[in-house]
Chains A and B, each alone.
Chain A
Amino acid sequence: MSSARNRELFALVPVAILLTAGFAGVFAQESTRLDNLSLIYGAYFLAVCVATHIYLRIRLPNADPYLFPLVALLTAFGLVMIYRIDDSLAGDQANWFVIGLVLFALTIQFLREYEVLERYRYTIAVGGLLLLLAPRLPGIGQQVNGAYLGIKIGPLAFQPAEFAKIAIVIFLASYLREHREVLIVGARRVLGVTLPPLKHFGPMLVVWGASMFMLVFIRDLGSSLMFFAAFLALLYVATGRFSFVVIGMAMFTVGAWFFASTVPHVGDRVEIWLDPYVDPTGTGYQILQSIFAQADGGLFGKGFGQGLITIPGTDAALLPAAQTDTIYSLIVNELGLFGACGVILIYLLIAARGFKIALLARDGFSKLLATGLTAVFSIQAFVIIGGVTRVIPLTGVTLPFISYGGSSILANFVLLALLLLISDRARREALEPGGRAPAGGRA
């Protein structure tokens, strides 16, 4: 029964070792002497992880054993990177990690019957949209680099899009679970293209409209892209109609193109992406420096702690937003192509485990929810890594579990909690008499 949890426990050991080694590396770099402080940090981290593990053992004994260690690995990696950039930021991040785990535990505690979410789907959808709008509200809204991404209440800054993504995925999973049959059956072929039935087209237009709205109102191409991609992924999984995806992509492209040419900030982002050399010291500075940092990394990187983040002797940024947007570029710079591939591989493994959960889940809502959460998580990683590698325009979303930022950590731990809840139920049902054994799993 607890073999899954034992595997989880074993998987956590290398994570703690990595963290210890990482901190030791930073200390060795900074002070040329080894401090036992790195061991203490490693021990704290392991203790927190083991506590979480014990909690999972009690509450979700059947949940996927690899997701938590993989996430812990990313977090450990992120903590070490942030510590290397600025030790005071790492302290904050470690606090957010602990708070995130508390939120993680609370989610598991109170959402065991997560299908209640279906009942409140419209409330959740409206809540999600309100969250997205909050940064435009006077008094609490904040504009960062031309995009409205954050709100600030007192000393607390907060990026609502991180939570909105979960709300919207919950809504979409629930809505599509209910309407997928009619979307498939009611579809008609017009001029060789399979179109969804008009009656159910409305809600889809609403999602498209919301994405466009975000583009104009929040001016955030990255989040907009992330939401819409997650929507298309869910639509495809729910209906099996690839043509819907094509129509959706066409609609998004047309809309994005239209607004890119009318909304200044969005258009700028696209132009910088197409040709950053137009203004290498101004608007193109961040993406160019991001790429130059990568060019400097090569196969093996410059070595941990060896990369330049500021211009030596000054506070001027050589790699702007190294702790958030461009942290991936710093990883390539210091750990090289191999290190970066390692990071991408971890995200891929998380995606694989997430989709595995969706495959195992019995009911439509669980399937779609797991799919949507995994998709939005993977696409977020793609949007920011793709941004700093100039695959797509660079926008300010965080690299999940690695970038500095409380909202991101908290929201992603909620996301993880939901995935584990679905997983626990799916695997438990599969083990029950009459149920089939989970593929590849051992009873």
Chain B
Amino acid sequence: MNRQIVKLFGFIVVLFGILVGFTSYWAVFDAKALKEEEANKRPLLEQQQIRRGRILAADGTVIAKSVAKGKGDALRFVRRYPEGALYGHPIGYSFVRQGDSEFEQFHNDELVGEESEFSSILDELRGRTQEGNDIVTNIDPVAQQIALEDLEVEGFGAVVAIEPSTGAVKVMASNKSFDPNRVPYELSKLNRNVIETPLLNRATQGLYPPGSTFKVVTAAAGLESGAITPETTIDAPGTLEVEGQPLNNDFSEDFGPIALDTALTNSVNTWFGQLGQQLGNDRLFETMEKFGFNSTPPIDLPDDEVYESGVYGEDGPLSVRDPVDLARVAIGQERLLATPLQMAMVAAAVANGGRLMKPQIWKRVIDPDGRTIDSLDPSEYSRPISEQSAEELTTAMEGVVSEGTGTNAAISGVAVAGKTGTAETPGNKACGGGIDENQAWFIGFAPADDPQIAIAASVECTTAFGNDAAAPIFRDVAEAILNGE
């Protein structure tokens, strides 16, 4: 029997080995995924025993802070948002039961002072308790407030303002917003509100037809590829037959042979439609993708809360190989959808001499002792166009504001470059299904000769045009930021 006993012991060794294997899997190899599991409240519970760091606006205004509740073992910290709905987007919320979202989620590790296992052991030996770091954002509170107030007047929509040279996000407003302080009490009610969708950050998750604002991208592709120069003229009739359907200018106006600045100033559809066809898929998609289309924008928000822009087929954005109606993509129609963040990135890239910087909301991380332990190092995302193309495009975009379709964006004493857009969205359920609904846009930057700020403003469910609904928001927000400097 001894041989069998030894084998039985071997079997027990194997069984215990399996236990060690599974324990290792849960405790070490799969630990990260388990901590991110929705049902796992442990990380949040532990974190609420840590004083989570504050989130501050660029001027030091407190956007989020933690207050202590209870004593001894029951001591815990609860999140407070003194400014309420103003920063509902993009800051989000962080609560034990409801979880976290947006900026609070993305910067969680810094806010709770997460450290490597080794250094936290050292801290423990030294008797230090874990404390969270503060994060200062780039958000300009005055401009943020103006953006949200203007949106409230117009209805639903979003505004994104980016400093072109650094990618610093100075405004990200989305209406309807929500008061994060109410999340513990009415999260499910907020979730059920499918008309106002207050939890949706329209700046990063709102996918809208960009309309004529996309002509900036088409023009950039034309200039950059050498297909056109600012002097190249294209005959622009009142109507163009494309794919069996007429493509019209406003009032079917016939412009004759015109160059880029006239075409952009008057937002001539037939001119850009032909340019798009001339460019072909390869050249148009190459420029689009360099501007950030067809990828998740590189912003400091959770990936699942930032949507890709692109020509949407049934399974998401189409690639360069898919057949598309190029003439209509070129004027921002077809199945093209873009987020306000994406269009702000387009404006910012043109403003920054063709260099697109990664948009970032955070600016500095400050430890509990008041030392800055990390600060934003602006980095380039791509170079969609050359400096020369950017200058040529800027000149054309200045025409839009000075004498074209976007005059309401003008700021006295400051040259503004921009582009309006008005996409017809009849039957949009979010707007109640009316047939006159538009998505009104304005993208642009100022001052045109030394851009300090690039902005995209987008208004949902409006009967007005881009110049009437969106351009004034651009102007108010740009003025607030320029005056603040």
Q: What residues of chain A have their CB less than 8 Å away from a CB belonging to chain B? A: 233, 236-238, 240, 277, 280-281, 284, 288-289, 291-300, 303, 308, 311-313, 318, 332, 336-337, 340-341, 344, 347-348, 351-352, 355, 358-359, 364, 367-368, 371, 375, 378-379, 382, 385-386, 389-391
Contacts and interface: CB of A to CB of B under 8 A. Distances in A.
B13 A348 contact: yes
B45 A371 contact: no
B19 A389 contact: yes
Contacts, number: 147
A293 B7 CA distance: 34
Contacts of A295: 26-27, 30-31, 34-35, 40, 42
Interface residues of B, number: 47
A318 B48 contact: no
Contacts of A300: 117, 121
Nearest to A341: B20
B266 to A, nearest CB: 57
Contact of A308 (B2, B13, B45): B45
A66 to B, nearest CB: 15
Interface in B35-62: 35, 37-43, 45-46, 48-49
**Secondary structure type dominating chain A contacts:** helix
B42 A293 contact: yes
Contacts of B41: 311, 318
A378 B22 contact: no
Contacts of A348: 12-13, 16
A299 B117 CA distance: 9
Contact of B12 (A277, A303, A375, A390): A375
B39 A280 contact: yes
A284 to B, nearest CB: 8
A312 B1 contact: no
B5 A358 contact: yes
B184 to A, nearest CB: 14
B4 interface: yes
B128 interface: no
B142 interface: no
Contact of B75 (A237, A298, A312): A312
B23 A312 contact: no
B23 A236 contact: no
Given A236-B4, A281-B39, A386-B15, 13 more contacts: A294-B31, A296-B43, A296-B46, A312-B45, A313-B69, A313-B70, A337-B27, A340-B20, A351-B9, A351-B16, A367-B1, A371-B5, A382-B19
Interface of B: 1-9, 11-13, 15-16, 18-20, 22-24, 26-28, 30-31, 34-35, 37-43, 45-46, 48-49, 69-70, 73-76, 117, 121, 124
A172 to B, nearest CB: 14
Contacts of A284: 39
Contacts of B76: 312-313
Contact of B26 (A294, A303, A364): A294
Nearest to A378: B12
B39 A347 contact: no
B8 A336 contact: no
A332 B23 contact: yes
A73 B74 CA distance: 33
Contact of B35 (A296, A308, A347, A386): A296
Given A341-B20, A344-B20, A240 B3 contact: yes
Contacts of A237: 1, 4-5, 8
B30 to A, nearest CB: 7
A386 B8 contact: no
Contact of B9 (A303, A318, A344, A355): A355
Contacts of A308: 42, 45-46
Contacts of A303: 124
A410 B134 CA distance: 55
A337 B23 contact: yes
B1 A292 contact: no
A371 B26 CA distance: 32
Given A297-B27, A358-B5, A385 B39 contact: no
Contacts of B45: 308, 311-312, 318
Nearest to B25: A389
A344 B16 contact: yes
Contacts of B117: 298-300
A84 to B, nearest CB: 13
Contacts of A289: 42
A291 B26 contact: yes
A348 B48 CA distance: 39
A233 B16 contact: no
B26 A355 contact: no
B52 to A, nearest CB: 14
A390 B4 CA distance: 29
Contacts of A240: 1, 3-4
A358 B3 CA distance: 11
Nearest to B26: A294
